[in-house]
Amino acid sequence: MNIVGSGAIGGLCAAGAQRANLPYRAIVREHSNKLRFVEGLDGTITHLDYAEHDIAKLGEHDVLILPLKAFQIGDALQQWQKRINKATPVILFHNGMGGTELATTWLPDNPVFLATTSHGALKLNADTVKHTGMGSTMLGMAFSHPLAEKLQPVVTALMEACIGPVTWREDMQTALWQKLLINCAINPLTALENVKNGALANPQYRATIQLVCQEVCLTAQACGVQLDEENALEQVLTVVRNTAENYSSMHQDIAHRRPSEIDAINGYVVQQAQKKGIDVPVNTRLFLAIKAL
C-alpha cells in the first residue's frame, strides 16, 4: 500500500495501516515535509514510516492511495500515470468533486475507487497530525471496471483497517453529493467567520445554511442525483454538533494562507448550476468571498 502526501487524512490512513501491521509506504510529495507523528483519539502516538527511495513502478499487487487536496489530484494522476500498472488499484481521497472526471481522463484503464470520510483530523504542525473525531468512510467505484468489481472486497478490507468503519456504496455519486452538501455549508462559513464548526449551530447562521442546502439539492437533482432536501439542514447541523470542537479544512487552509478547495466545493455547485441554468446566489456569494481572500 502506497500513501501519497503528508496531509491529515493521509496521516490517519498510514497510522491505521501501521497499527494493523499492514505493509505500507508513505510517499512525500516534492517540496513537502514528511509527516512523522499521528496522535490517536486515545492519545497514543504512531511514528510513520517513509519509503527509503523513489518508487519507480507500482505493480498489480500494489495499491495507490491519493489523500490529497482536490486541486492536487490532477497533477498527481498525471505524474503517477506512467509509474503504475494498468491493474494497479487507485483510491482518490479528497474533499469536493471532480475526481471521477480526472480519473477518466488520466487513468481510464485502471480500477479507480473514490473515498470520502467524516473522520476529524487536524495538522498540529508540519510533522504532526491529531485525530480529533471518530467518523466513518464511504467507498465506491469511480466508474464501472471489471477489475474494480473483483477487487472490491480487498480494497474495502484495506480501507477498513486504515480508516474504518467503511461502508461500500454502489451509489457513490450520491454519497459524494451528500458530503459535498455538508462541505458547502460548513467549510466556507467557518473560514469566513474564523470559527470552529460548532459555532455554526448559532441561529445567526441558520438561514444561510438552509439556503446553501436548498441550492445544492436543486443542483444535484438537475445532475440526476436525488438528495433529501427535507433532512439536508439536519444533516449539516448533526455534523456541526459532532465536530463542534474541530476547525474545518478550509478554515485551516485560509488561516495558514494555503490554497483552499473552494473550486471543488461551492465552486463545483456554481459550475454545475450554470450548466443547468439554475441560480445559486448563496453558494456563489460564498465562493466569491473565499476566492477574494
Same domain? 185 vs 41: no
The predicted model scores a pTM of 0.92
How many domains does the chain divide into?
Answer: 2
* pLDDT tens-digit series, residues 116-146: 999 989 889 989 999 988 999 999 999 999 9
Instruction: Supply the CATH number for residue 108's domain.
Output: 3.40.50.720
Phi-psi region of 5 (alpha: psi -120 to 50; beta: other; left: phi over 0): left
Same domain? 262 vs 124: no
Distance CA 24, CA 204 (A): 46
* pLDDT tens-digit series, residues 185-223: 999 999 999 999 999 999 999 999 999 999 999 999 999
Phi and psi dihedrals of 206, rounded to 5? -60, -45
Domain limits for position 39 = 2-170
Q: Is 123 assigned a catalytic role?
A: no
Distance CA 259, CA 251 (A): 11
The pLDDT-based confidence of 51 (bands split at 50, 70, 90) is: low
Same domain? 105 vs 89: yes
Same domain? 8 vs 139: yes
Same domain? 13 vs 80: yes
Among residues 144, 170, 196, the one where a domain terminates is: 170
* pLDDT tens-digit series, residues 263-285: 999 999 999 999 999 999 999 99
Same domain? 159 vs 196: no
Same domain? 157 vs 182: no
Among residues 153, 170, 187, the one where a domain terminates is: 170
**Nearest of 102, 111, 105 to residue 84 by alpha carbon:** 111
Among residues 170, 189, 209, the one where a domain terminates is: 170
- Residue with the three cell numbers 497510522: 15
pLDDT of 28 reads 83
Same domain? 153 vs 253: no
Q: Which of 69, 123, 130, 179 is catalytic?
A: 179
One-letter amino acid for residue 161 of the chain: A
